[in-house]
Amino acid sequence: MVLSLLGQAGLALENNENARLREQEALKAQQQGMKTSLLRSISHDLRTPLTTIGASADLLTHPGLREDQQRSLAASIRQESLWLRDTVENLLSLTRLDEGALHLNRQEVELEEAAVQALQHTGTRQTDHPVTIDIDPDCTGFLDGRLMVQLFVNLIGNAMAHTPAQTAITVTGRKQGDQVVLEVADDGPGIPKEVQEHLFEPFCRKSSTIADSCRSMGLGLSLVHRIVEAHGGSISYRDNAPGACFCIKLPCTGETDEAIDTECRRRCADDQPAADGV
């Protein structure tokens, strides 16, 4: 009986070990799949703007170009380079958030000002989409100002990329108790029901799921989701009938990092005698 019990225990341990190895292999396969998707996305999506920049630069060297043609080529180079910059910034920020290495520089942020700064980053695209910013002046919070600007850049840019020209985009903000409720809505075609559950997954494309820009790797909405979570908030999507609407709730109360560090040092000083006695 003892030998039988030991044999069964050995089989159970062996099964557990095999299950653990299978989980590790599955995780490695998933990570490898994500790396493959990232490399494929980078090679595909970065090729188009780089080709456009190179071709436009070559044309600028040709003699006989009219002044309006030179301005058009220069504007094309600038627009593509800005897109590349934003894409690289999204990649770096998403990597830092995943690794837990991104430090939130919390300070009192006026969200209306952050939205205005984000609108300036959209460049010439805002001429094709009338954008209305209606955020109450009291919508402030102890947040990371740079990440808030990046959040608005991604949401507004996403709306511009997936709606027809002259589609209105509205950014609103209201204070509700100890939270700030932000909404970015458009009057475009909206998002199909079957792809809404994949909105905040990285590497999502419009062919299979929603993408967050015309040539995007599907990082913008995923990054917005991570930024909101890092601040202790939540983000959701709803149909705007017609159009799309992203709703974000952020805590508007809290302390700056400096105040938190001061409090931590004070507590450590108070606990010092007890620590010496251990």
Tell me 178's DSSP state.
T
Rounded-to-integer distance, Cα 189 and Cα 105, Å = 37
DSSP β-ladder status, 169-176 and 131-135: parallel
Q: What are the tens digits of pLDDT across the range 194-241?
A: 777 777 776 555 444 444 444 444 567 888 888 898 889 999 998 887
Cα 224 to Cα 98, 161, 220, 230, 234, distances in angstroms: 13, 16, 6, 10, 10
Confidence of residue 153 (pLDDT cuts 50, 70, 90): confident
Tell me which of 250 and 52 has the higher pLDDT.
Answer: 250
pTM greater than the 0.85 cutoff: no
